[in-house]
Amino acid sequence: MQGKEYLLVLSGGMDSVTMLYDYRERIAAAVTFQYGSNHNRREAHYARLNCERLGIEWIEIDLTFMASHFSSSLLEGADAIPEGSYDDENMKSTVVPFRNGIMLAVAAGLAESRGLAGVMIANHSGDHAIYPDCRPEFIRSMGAAIADGTYEHLELFAPYTSLSKGEIARRGKELGVDYSLTYSCYKGGEKHCGKCGTCVERAEALRYAGIVLNDD
């Protein structure tokens, strides 16, 4: 099936915004989830903005109950976010338990309700060690659950699973993505802090792709 067939889970960060542009001819709508993280509101602003630029429907879903009931430094305020490298031990506290599973379950229901063929997610290889619900094993299992749990056997499409964030940024450069219109800082300030793990990873990816920004 070709055409507008997918619903994209869109955070407003580099990876999902790149996917929005990369697959814009096949994306019928994008959904952003408000789950109470420090950076959620700022990311959502850019998710909406990029959808408006491309003429793609944007949906916002409230999952803020997660902030009240789930344990994660990502839900506890800027001071709880670790600074330094984007590695397992340093970033483990930012895991929001089964976040992608919850979001993909809702997204699958939205996609089936709209008669679409599947759901897209922009996980990548740099996430695998830290976040269990970004790993290839999870994508395969969740894909099977979505297919088995929907009448039309919807697909979970995750084409960036084996790519690094740098490779995604390089693809975005080819597409002309303006990364100043994305947000990634886990501390959630007005500007990227440049110190938290996700800021460090973002800066490394931009350098890898040869992209210079003046927005941070």
Q: What is the mean pLDDT of each run of 10 residues along the chain (216 residues)?
A: 86 98 98 94 97 98 95 88 67 88 98 98 82 93 98 98 97 98 94 92 96 79
Asked whether residue 120 is marked as a ligand-binding residue, the answer is no
Asked whether residue 199 is marked as a ligand-binding residue, the answer is yes
Please report the pLDDT score of residue 87 as a whole number.
56
Asked whether residue 10 is marked as a ligand-binding residue, the answer is yes
Type of residue at 182: T
Asked whether residue 12 is marked as a ligand-binding residue, the answer is yes
Asked whether residue 185 is marked as a ligand-binding residue, the answer is yes
Q: Residue 134 in contact with residue 123, Cβ under 8 Å? A: yes
Asked whether residue 184 is marked as a ligand-binding residue, the answer is no
**Residue range 79-102, pLDDT digits in tens:** 888 886 655 566 788 889 899 999
Q: Residue 152 in contact with residue 108, Cβ under 8 Å? A: no
Asked whether residue 180 is marked as a ligand-binding residue, the answer is no
**Tokens matching residue 11:** 């955070």
Please report the pLDDT score of residue 90 as a whole number.
60
Asked whether residue 134 is marked as a ligand-binding residue, the answer is no
Residue 151 half-sphere exposure toward CB, CA atoms < 13 A: 5
Please report the pLDDT score of residue 194 as a whole number.
93
Between CA 126 and CA 161 the distance in angstroms is 9
All structural domains of the chain with their residue ranges: 6-209
Q: Residue 164 in contact with residue 123, Cβ under 8 Å? A: no
Asked whether residue 32 is marked as a ligand-binding residue, the answer is no
CATH code assigned to 6-209: 3.40.50.620
